[in-house]
Amino acid sequence: MKLSQLLEQIEYTCVQGGLDKEIKSVVYDSRKVTPDSLFLCIKGAVSDGHKYAKEVVEKGATVLVVQDEVEVPEEVTVIRVENTRYAMACISAAWFGHPAEKMKVIGITGTKGKTTTTYLVKSILENAGYKVGLIGTIEAIIGDEVIPAANTTPESYIVQEYFAKMAEAGCDCVVMEVSSQGLMLHRTAGFVFDFGIFTNIEPDHIGPNEHKDFDDYLHCKGLLFKQCKVGIVNADDEHVQQVLEGHTCTVETYGLHDNADLWAKDLKLVTGKGVLGIDYEVQGLMDFPVEIDLPGKFSVYNSLTAIAICRHFGVSEENIQKALRAAKVKGRIEMVKVSDEFTLMIDYAHNAMSLESLLTTLKEYKPKRLVCLFGCGGNRSKLRRYEMGEVSGKLADLTIITSDNPRNEEPQAIIDDIKIGIGKTDGKYVEIIDRKEAIAYAIHNGQPGDVIVLAGKGHEDYQEIKGKKYPMDERDLIRDILAGK
Ligand SMILES: CC(=O)N[C@H]1[C@@H](OP(=O)(O)OP(=O)(O)OC[C@H]2O[C@@H](n3ccc(=O)[nH]c3=O)[C@H](O)[C@@H]2O)O[C@H](CO)[C@@H](O)[C@@H]1O[C@H](C)C(=O)N[C@@H](C)C(=O)N[C@H](CCC(=O)O)C(=O)O
Ligand SMILES: Nc1ncnc2c1ncn2[C@@H]1O[C@H](COP(=O)(O)OP(=O)(O)OP(=O)(O)O)[C@@H](O)[C@H]1O
Ligand SMILES: N[C@H](CCC[C@H](N)C(=O)O)C(=O)O
Ligand SMILES: [Mg+2]
């Protein structure tokens, strides 16, 4: 592709060299440069792409896009921009032929509920006959191809590459999680979202390499509403007006009160055989009853968000009801039937905030006992261990402390840290270091009316021990335990 074509959407200064060049690849990692590459120098958290300038030219890069000065031979074209990450998003969009314009693009931002809501939207739209691509924390789904994710919102080049593959695979729409880091680092620049969604915001992701403070976090979430046509936001979130500050889209709201355009009323907790759910009435822009086999108030928010989005696609009430009834999200309050007498679920809560919101929600079902099984990741914050121990000790009737991903730490040392937290409460606990044995203990000792939560591993299908990932899927462990293996 011609260099000038790639630069059409950005402001730049050509510092040296000419614009009449044919580009054979767009690259942001020096290790992937080949002859006639355009190389983007990105300043990262660990490294700085500018320092590879000489090396990439030796490998055949003919154009460098920079934000700082570089010294390279005069025949190499140097394009200077204000921000190379932003430029990368625009150049990538051009490189892949602006694929976002060929589909409806739905972006979901917020502290919690993004992953769950993307899958609910996908289920509803597919049930109504749409072909839907997905990008998020667990994976990217492009037709029949499933690519495990490294980031919730990948680098802009990858976003555009996935979009192009989706358009080629015949997708009508794409639903993606838009993390605040993704917005901050321009991973989703270079195109306009048809729909931008805001779920909620709580202090999180604040620290080195993430956001400098809560205001910055709020500001970054708000960027989505300057880059979408229709904004659909949670009217009940106390920060919604700050998130919408300076928005350029039309705005629609959802929530649990009649001040919202689409709202839910008459919430009823439902306990079935081995399943917890919630029923409610949709009001406002639509009017129909919903029954879902996902528990708690936050499942009302997530499903209502999905309904608010799918309304714009003309999906019938009947199709929405049918899809939500069957909806399941891997590792997100995923109920696994092990008994008619008690309920067991796999969830990804791996910090105190999500564990607390999950256990509090489950307590509303008044279980005979709330049993919480979890461990904590090695080589991760120790604070998480104390805090999760304390939350579980406070809210669960029994905690089963076990291993998560020990990584390079001793599993017993992690358990000992969790015990410090739980020791601040009078919560009852047992410790069983092997996760499968711990799950077997939970199942074999399940009592009628119990709710058992396996927290922390969610969708993960491995256990990481000393730098190696061993296959371990909790669904398989449960199957084996039930089969007596
Ligand atoms: C802190 C951070 O955001 N890191 C991400 C990032 O690294 P970086 O851009 O800072 O890269 P770097 O290693 O400093 O390198 C800078 C540049 O030099 C280049 N380089 C580097 C080495 C070399 O030899 N040659 C070379 O050219 C790199 O390709 C890059 O262009 O780029 C990587 C590849 O695109 C990401 O995978 C990586 O995410 C890491 C895994 C991460 O943990 N990110 C977190 C903070 C994150 O983004 N999380 C959010 C939210 C998650 C959620 O709540 O759901 C997300 O969207 O995932
Ligand atoms: N709307 C919600 N409000 C509060 N908590 C929620 C909500 N939805 C889900 N949760 C809880 O938070 C956990 C994470 O949910 P989910 O994966 O959908 O969120 P996410 O925004 O994608 O989070 P992450 O940034 O970790 O990927 C769930 O396992 C559940 O315990
Ligand atoms: N089961 C996991 C959750 C990981 C969440 C991830 N964001 C991280 O902190 O690496 C662990 O603690 O190992
Ligand atoms: Mg997610």
CATH label of the domain that carries residue 461? 3.90.190.20
State pTM to two decimals.
0.93
**Continuous segment of H or E residues that includes residue 89:** helix 84-95
Tell me how far apart the alpha carbons of residues 44 and 32 are, in angstroms, rounded to a whole number.
17
What span, in angstroms and rounded, lies between the C-alpha atoms of 30 and 241? 42
Selection from 440, 447, 453, 450 nearest residue 484 by Cα? 440
Indicate whether 61 and 191 sit together in one domain. Answer: no
Cα(108) to centroid(ligand 4), Å = 10
Q: Is the pLDDT of residue 104 over 70?
A: yes
Judge if 286 and 341 occupy the same domain.
no
pLDDT at 211: 65
One domain, residues 320 and 429: no
136 has a pLDDT exceeding 70 = yes
Residue 176 has pLDDT above 90, yes or no: yes
- Which backbone phi and psi does 171 adopt, to 5 degrees? -70, 140
CATH no. for residue 145? 3.40.1190.10
The answer on 106 and 86 residing in a single domain is no
Q: By mean pLDDT, which of 192-196, 270-274, 364-368, 385-389 is the weakest?
A: 270-274
Q: Mean pLDDT over residues 67-78, rounded?
A: 96
* 161 and 179 part of one domain: yes
Binding-site positions for meso-2,6-diaminopimelate read 380, 404-407, 456, 460
What digits encode the pLDDT tens for the residues 7-43?
Answer: 999 999 999 999 999 999 999 999 999 999 999 999 9
Dihedral of the alpha carbons of 424, 429, 431, 434, in degrees to the nearest 10: -120
Quote the CA–CA distance of 202 and 238 in Å, as a whole number.
Answer: 10
Q: Which tokens go with 130? A: 């749409």
pLDDT exceeds cutoff 70 at 208: no
Answer with the one of 309, 326, 343 that is the final residue of a domain. 326
Q: How far apart are CA 108 and CA 391, in angstroms?
A: 28
Domain limits for position 23: 3-95
Which ligand 2 atom sits nearest the alpha carbon of residue 204? 25
Q: Is pLDDT at 175 greater than 70 in this prediction?
A: yes
CATH number at residue 44: 3.40.1390.10
Section 87-94 average pLDDT: 98
DSSP 455: E
Better pLDDT: 356 or 208: 356
Confidence of residue 218 (pLDDT cuts 50, 70, 90): confident
pLDDT confidence of residue 215: 83
**Same structural domain for residues 199 and 242?**
yes
- Contact residues of ligand 2, CB 6 A cut-off: 110, 112-116, 137, 152, 177, 199-200, 298, 301-302, 332-333, 347-349, 354, 357-358
The answer to whether residue 206 scores a pLDDT higher than 70 is no
Q: Which of 95, 120, 137 is the last residue of a domain?
A: 95
Q: Which residue has better confidence, 382 or 140?
A: 140
The pLDDT assigned to 432 comes to 98
Kindly state whether residues 7 and 151 are assigned to the same domain. no
Pocket test for ligand 3, best of 354, 373, 405, 474 (most atoms within 8 A of CB): 405
Same domain, 227 and 375: no
Residues with CB under 5 A from ligand 4 (ion): 114-115, 137
Separation between Cα atoms, residue 18 and residue 77, nearest integer Å: 6
Q: Is the pLDDT assigned to residue 364 strictly greater than 80? A: yes
> Percentage of the chain surpassing pLDDT 70?
98
CA dist 226 to 10, 248, 288, Å? Answer: 18, 5, 32
Q: How many domains does the chain have?
A: 3
Give residue 359's pLDDT band: very low, low, confident or very high (50, 70, 90). Answer: very high
State whether 451 and 414 are in the same domain: yes
Angle CA 213–219–222, to nearest 5: 145
State percent of the chain over pLDDT 90. 90
- For residue range 222-262, list pLDDT tens digits in order: 889 999 999 999 999 999 999 999 999 999 999 999 999 99
- Residues 153 and 264 reside in one and the same domain: yes
**pLDDT grade for 207, boundaries at 50, 70 and 90:** low
Position 205 scores a pLDDT of: 62
Average pLDDT over residues 140-155: 95
Residues 235 and 275 in one domain: yes
Q: Ligand 1 center to residue 150 CA distance, Å?
A: 9
Of all protein residues, the one whose alpha carbon is nearest to atom 20 of ligand 1 is: 29
Mean pLDDT of 348-364: 93
pLDDT higher than threshold 90 for residue 115: yes
> In the prediction, which pLDDT does 221 show?
79
Question: Separation of 44 CA from ligand 1 center, angstroms?
Answer: 7
Which amino acid is it at 104? K
Q: Which of 79, 95, 111 is the last residue of a domain?
A: 95
Ligand 2 mutation target, pool 109, 112, 175, 202, most atoms within 8 A of CB:
112
| Judgement on whether residues 281 and 340 belong to the same structural domain of the protein | no
What confidence score (pLDDT) does residue 350 get? 93
d(CA 298, CA 188): 27
